Amino acid sequence: MKKAVYLFNNGVLRRKDNTIYFERENDKRIIPVNTISEIHIFGEVDLNKRVLEFFTKNSIPLFFYNYHGYYVGAYYPREYLNSGLLTLKQAEFYLKIKERLFLAKSFVKGAVENILKNLKYYQKSKDDIKDYVKFIEEKKNEIDLKQDIPSLMALEGEIRKSYYESFNIILNSESFYFDKRTKRPPNNPLNALISFGNSLLYTTVLSQIYRTHLDPRIGYLHETNQRSFTLNLDISEIFKPIIVDRVIFSLVNKGKIKIEHFEEDVEFSYLNEKGKQIFIKDFEEKLFTTIKYKNLGNVSYRRLIRLECYKLYKHFLDEEIYKPFIAEW
Amino acid sequence: METSKINGTLIWYYYICQREVWLIGHSIEADQENDFLILGKHIHELFYKGEKKEIFIDNTIKIDILSNKKVIGEIKKSSKFIQSARMQIAFYLYYLKKEKGIEFVGELLIPEERKKEKIILTKEIEYKIEKAIKDITEILKLPKPPKPEKIPYCKNCAYKDMCWS
């Protein structure tokens, strides 16, 4: 399995023959293109067209983040897998409202089931969690009643709001407190962690979609006509609780991430460089962790994301109805 | 799907996995990061560099012509699926005979095992090829891929994750 590369330093990405160098003052690092799946760029990096051409040739997308770690865009190389059939099917399932709603609901159901897995795990030690479990389980039953995407999204928002409130019990920390979700910019350290983690997940999923025949521009839950990539947001819903949120719980509860890892202003809060690095280390470790998968032996979380894409293939080809991944614990 | 577009790869998979025939026939490609797939490409690039020449015929078949111009070669990683490999070469011979009126001899090359095998097109093999072409055409007409079946080939197949996810 290929790995992601994260660049924090300022420097120049240079192509020399069939290799990429990342050059800094007095320092030259070789990036072996055969072993990487994508590059996440956080520092001030200069690059030219030659480099981009080389990344295209090797099917490597680049993701750019601004100074605050906020996703700013991607270099998504030309598609290298072309199957007209799957593209047409993917669009067909978007255009038929019943089919679109089915998939949108599947993503929400997957998200909610995985949220409940997290809550039930913490319920064992923290009794107050049970109220959240009860509320979310009731709300879960309303998913099937929804007849359109906006009301489905509103329901999902309600569930997630309640879930995020439960973080105050799970984390039990004064520094990481949830009052309301704020995104652009995040207003406190917990929101900053959630935003940063979700950004990383969106690009990680996008990178996996790039390695399939799926078109990331056609999503089902998220509005396709409003942004360039949406399918990655849909698939991310399922994995946020089991990847991003679990990384947050562990980082905060083990005291690995502290208030000193944030840059704070009156109104906003961002992870500083050290904080981002700490987060990414655990995030990558999580993606690398393997679990047992029914027919395929041990599968990493990163691979699990790819499998989700393959399950969509089968759904589109009318082979097997899509069921979102739900964690076993 | 044009039914005349039967190629060597489809013949090879016909003797291993019919689901794969359908997927490849519909341009649904396997996981390009699969280790065995990458290894196969490397072996192809590495061996017989000097003496082979890869040529495309009618945009349908890709063959490796060896230094001796009347021999077409096909390189494989191992002899595990030797029957498939034999039939793939036989298909090239058949195609060249029927479409171009040239009779070639085939050679199956397995560099890692230092093996070579001569393949000659007999009447019996021609019948087999004709049946395979007919069957593949039918498989490709199916509205969806044949169901996956667990076979020994699955273990290292680049479609594994797609079939068993």
Q: What is the pLDDT of residues B99-147, one digit of tens each?
A: 888 888 888 888 788 888 889 999 999 999 999 999 999 999 999 999 9
Please state which of the ranges A252-266, A269-283, B70-84 shows the lowest mean pLDDT: B70-84
Residue with tokens 């009643």: A145
- Considering only CB atoms, B28 lies closest to which of A80, A83, A318, namely A83
Residue with tokens 């359908």: B22
Instruction: State which amino acid sits at residue A51.
Output: V
Taking the CA atoms of B63, B67, B73 and B79 in sequence, report the sign of the dihedral they define.
Answer: negative
pLDDT at site A311: 97
With beta carbons less than 8 A apart as the criterion, state whether A152 and A169 touch: no
CA distances from A41 to A13, A45, A47, A61, A247 (A): 11, 7, 11, 11, 21
Task: Provide the pLDDT confidence category of residue A2 given band limits of 50, 70 and 90.
Answer: confident
**Mutate: best of A2, A317, A320, partner B, most B CBs <10 A:** A317
Residues of A in contact with B144 (CB under 8 A): 317-319
Task: Provide the pLDDT confidence category of residue A10 given band limits of 50, 70 and 90.
Answer: very high
Task: Provide the pLDDT confidence category of residue B3 given band limits of 50, 70 and 90.
Answer: very low
Instruction: Give the integer Cα–Cα distance in Å for B48 and B55.
Output: 14
Residue B40: CB atoms within 10 Å: 16
Residue with tokens 């995985």: A114
pLDDT at site A82: 78
Q: Which has the higher per-residue pLDDT, B68 or A70?
A: A70
With beta carbons less than 8 A apart as the criterion, state whether B12 and B132 touch: no
Residue with tokens 């809550």: A119
Residues of B in contact with A84 (CB under 8 A): 27
Instruction: Give the integer Cα–Cα distance in Å for B79 and B120.
Output: 18
* Cα angle for residues A283, A284, A289 (degrees, 5° grid): 100
pLDDT at site A299: 94
**How many Å lie between the alpha carbon of A313 and the closest alpha carbon of chain B?**
8
With beta carbons less than 8 A apart as the criterion, state whether A169 and A129 touch: yes
Half-sphere exposure in the Cβ direction for A189 (13 Å, CA): 22
- Phi, psi angles (nearest 5°) of residue B143: -65, -25
CA distances from A310 to A39, A140, A167, B13 (A): 23, 26, 33, 21
pLDDT at site A241: 98
**How many Å lie between the alpha carbon of A308 and the closest alpha carbon of chain B?**
8
- Asked if the model's pLDDT at residue B38 lies above 60, the reply is yes
Instruction: Give the integer Cα–Cα distance in Å for B126 and B9.
Output: 17
- Asked if the model's pLDDT at residue B50 lies above 70, the reply is no
DSSP strands (E only) in B76-163: 105-110, 115-119
pLDDT at site B112: 82
* Residue B103, token pair as written in the block: 């009779």
Cis-peptide into A185, omega within 30 deg: yes
pLDDT at site B142: 95
Q: Does B144 touch chain A (CB under 8 A)?
A: yes
With beta carbons less than 8 A apart as the criterion, state whether B22 and B137 touch: no
**Residue in A116, A164, A121, A119 with CA at minimum distance from that of residue A140:** A116
The DSSP secondary structure of A213-233, one letter per residue, reads: S--TT--SSS-GGGSS--HHH
Q: Please compute the mean of the pLDDT values over residues A234-256 and round it to a whole number.
A: 96
Please state which of the ranges A53-62, A92-101, B48-57 shows the lowest mean pLDDT: B48-57
Residue A289: CB atoms within 10 Å: 13
What's the DSSP call for residue A189?
H
- Asked if the model's pLDDT at residue B59 lies above 60, the reply is yes
Q: A317 and B144: CB-CB below 8 Å?
A: yes
Q: Does A190 touch chain B (CB under 8 A)?
A: no
- Considering only CB atoms, A307 lies closest to which of B143, B150, B165, namely B165
Residue ranges of alpha helices (H) inside chain B are 8-14, 18-25, 35-46, 82-95, 123-141, 160-164
Q: B29 and A81: CB-CB below 8 Å?
A: yes
Distance, first Cα to last Cα, chain A: 25
pLDDT at site A185: 76
- Asked if the model's pLDDT at residue A29 lies above 60, the reply is yes
- Asked if the model's pLDDT at residue B1 lies above 50, the reply is no
Q: Please compute the mean of the pLDDT values over residues A41-66 and round it to a whole number.
A: 94
- Asked if the model's pLDDT at residue A43 lies above 80, the reply is yes
Among A15-19, A226-230, A251-255, B104-108, name the most confident range.
Answer: A251-255
Q: How many CB pairs under 8 A join A and B?
A: 50
Interhelix angle A231-239/A189-210, nearest 10 degrees: 120
Q: Which helix (H) or strand (E) holds A65?
A: strand A62-65
pLDDT at site B81: 82
Instruction: Give the integer Cα–Cα distance in Å for A151 and A154.
Output: 5
What's the DSSP call for residue A140?
H
- Considering only CB atoms, B145 lies closest to which of A2, A84, A319, namely A319
pLDDT digits (tens, 9 = 90+) for A247-262: 999 999 999 999 889 8
**Residue in B142, B150, B85, B145 with CA at minimum distance from that of residue B118:** B85
* Residue A208, token pair as written in the block: 């996996």
Q: Does A213 touch chain B (CB under 8 A)?
A: yes
- Considering only CB atoms, B161 lies closest to which of A80, A81, A307, namely A307
Half-sphere exposure in the Cβ direction for A242 (13 Å, CA): 27
Interhelix angle A97-123/A149-171, nearest 10 degrees: 10
- Considering only CB atoms, A2 lies closest to which of B33, B150, B162, namely B33
Instruction: Give the integer Cα–Cα distance in Å for B71 and B74.
Output: 10
Q: Which has the higher per-residue pLDDT, A257 or B80?
A: A257
**Three-state SS for A41?**
strand
Instruction: Give the integer Cα–Cα distance in Å for A308 and B102.
Output: 48
Mention every residue, 6+ apart, whose C-beta is less than 8 A from residue A187: A267, A268, A269
Which chain A residue is nearest to residue B165, measuring alpha carbons? A307
Residue with tokens 């890892």: A261
* Residue A35, token pair as written in the block: 């072993």
Mention every residue, 6+ apart, whose C-beta is less than 8 A from residue A302: A1, A204, A208, A287, A288
Residue B55: strand pairing partners? B63
Q: Please compute the mean of the pLDDT values over residues A289-318 and round it to a whole number.
A: 95
With beta carbons less than 8 A apart as the criterion, state whether B91 and B126 touch: no
